[in-house]
Amino acid sequence: MRDLIAATYGPVPVLRELFEDLGGVDQIMIYGYWAARRAGESGAFPNDIDVLVVGDAPRKTLTALASEASARLDLPVNVTRVAPDDWCADEPSPFVATIRSRPAVDVRTGDVHA
């Protein structure tokens, strides 16, 4: 039960702590199945946590932080980085358009955007 609680509510504070001092990050959010469940969509318990970083933080650093988060949460954490220009574009890439159309959880505030 402890693992379920940590995986359900733990990602936001764990990721917030890990990413708080990292430069080159404009936004950080959880998307995908975990965010959908947090937004109230029904479904199976997520097998992983998808994290989107908007910014230009080094990929090597993001990979190391994802590994640390995975170890703490006992769930795979996948980090994807997108450029701020793509995230803010009126006509973003198909990937960004999809992410923006689905639920996401702001890691810094814990707010759910559905």
Whether residue 4 is predicted with pLDDT greater than 70 in this model: the reply is no
Q: What b-and-e string marks burial along 28-54, b requiring 16 or more CB atoms within 10 Å of the CB?
A: bbbbbbbbbbbeeeeeeebeebbbbbb
Using 50, 70 and 90 to split pLDDT, how confident is the model at 9?
low
Helix axes 11-19, 59-73, angle to 10 degrees: 140
Measured distance CA(29)–CA(10) in Å, rounded: 14
Domains in the chain, please, with CATH?
2-113 (3.30.460.10)
Q: State pTM to two decimals.
A: 0.89
Q: Give me the mean pLDDT over the 60-82 stretch.
A: 96
Q: What residue type is 76 in one-letter code?
A: P
Specify the pLDDT at position 1.
44
Measured distance CA(97)–CA(102) in Å, rounded: 9
Measured distance CA(21)–CA(44) in Å, rounded: 33
